[in-house]
Amino acid sequence: MALLEVENLSAAFGGVKAVDQVSFRVEPGSIFSVIGPNGAGKTTLFNLVTGIYHADSGEVRLEGRRVNGLKPYELARLGLSRTFQNLQICMNMTALENVMVGAHLRLDRSPLKAMLRLPAIVARDRELRREAAELMAYVGLADQVSAEADALSYGALKRLEIARALAARPKLLFLDEPAAGLNPTETGEIDGLIQKVAESGVTVVLVEHDMKLVMNLSDHILVLDYGRKLAEGTAAEVRRNPDVIAAYLGASA
């Protein structure tokens, strides 16, 4: 069974069909990329699948279960986690606390128990801190564990977001432009990190404009243009597809 199945998903803003009858399947253990020119509907598609927006029509199934209409935190508990094209990091917290936010998503927390500082809660908080520090090391931020979030470089913040998403222990990780704004060295590090995440068994769905990164990483690529599916296939198939070439030449012309 596919891990994620999307069927005829559509959403419009005013008159604009941002996502128009899009269908695809993501196989477990794969790296699946969504590409397309600016405004093609990639982020909207992510927002629909991750519960930020509601679809006008169509269906999303996670492990065969219909998940339309579920809230982002409910989807997180089912194993779907994400990062954002525009960083969503709390700058008035430490880097470590930002990662801990991701872990809290998967726990049921009782404010009363926390207030009473029951030993079990105190022990669990210590455990969460340890896990968050481990995740920071995993994404290459071991030396920033005690740093305030606003002291981190942009490249480090992009990796911090991935650590926070991983703290929810996802089966399926959505990354919206993880390499945007990064220099070639940082992009290479992100490439390595995404491969490491995928090899650990987490299925990755990626939106990215950096074609070198996409072609290098992806098992399967979906191409969107004006909200519609333009093409789909392996990197080699997509690269030689005349419709894809025309859409990209048109976008850069």
38 touches, from Mg ion, ligand ATP, none (C-beta below 5 to 8 Å by class): ligand ATP
44 binds, among Mg ion, ligand ATP, none (CB under 5 to 8 A by kind): ligand ATP
DSSP H stretches of helix in 59-179: 72-77, 95-104, 111-116, 119-138, 154-167
- 219 contact partners, CB below 8 Å, separation of at least 6: 27, 30, 31, 32, 234
Q: Work out whether 43 is an interface residue with ligand ATP (CB under 6 A).
A: yes
Residue range at the interface with Mg ion (CB under 5 A); choices 15-23, 34-42, 104-112, 145-153? 34-42
Please choose which of Mg ion, ligand ATP, none residue 39 contacts, taking the beta carbon within 5 to 8 angstroms, the exact cut-off set by kind. ligand ATP
Backbone angles phi, psi at 115, to 5 degrees: -65, -40
Near ligand ATP by CB under 6 A: residue from 3, 6, 33, 41 = 41
> What is the nearest approach in angstroms of ligand ATP to the Cβ of residue 204?
17
- CA–CA gap between residue 173 and residue 201 (Å, rounded): 11
Residues in 4-23 that interact with ligand ATP by CB under 6 A: 13, 16, 18
Angle between helices 119-138 and 95-104 (to 10 degrees): 120
Site map (CB under 5 A) of Mg ion, residues 47-86, x = contact: --------------------------------------x-
Q: Is residue 50 near ligand ATP by the rule CB under 6 A? A: no
178 binds ligand ATP (CB under 6 A): no
DSSP 3-state of 53: coil
- The correct pick among 33, 43, 50, 203 for binding Mg ion (CB under 5 A) is 43
- Cα separation, 229 vs 245, whole angstroms: 14
Residue 140: closest CA among 79, 92, 188 = 188
Q: Name the one range near ligand ATP by CB under 6 A: 33-41, 70-78, 98-106, 152-160.
A: 33-41
E strand or H helix that includes residue 232? strand 228-233
19: its two tokens: 């996502």
* Residues at the contact surface with ligand ATP, assessed by CB under 6 A: 13, 16, 18, 36, 38-44, 85
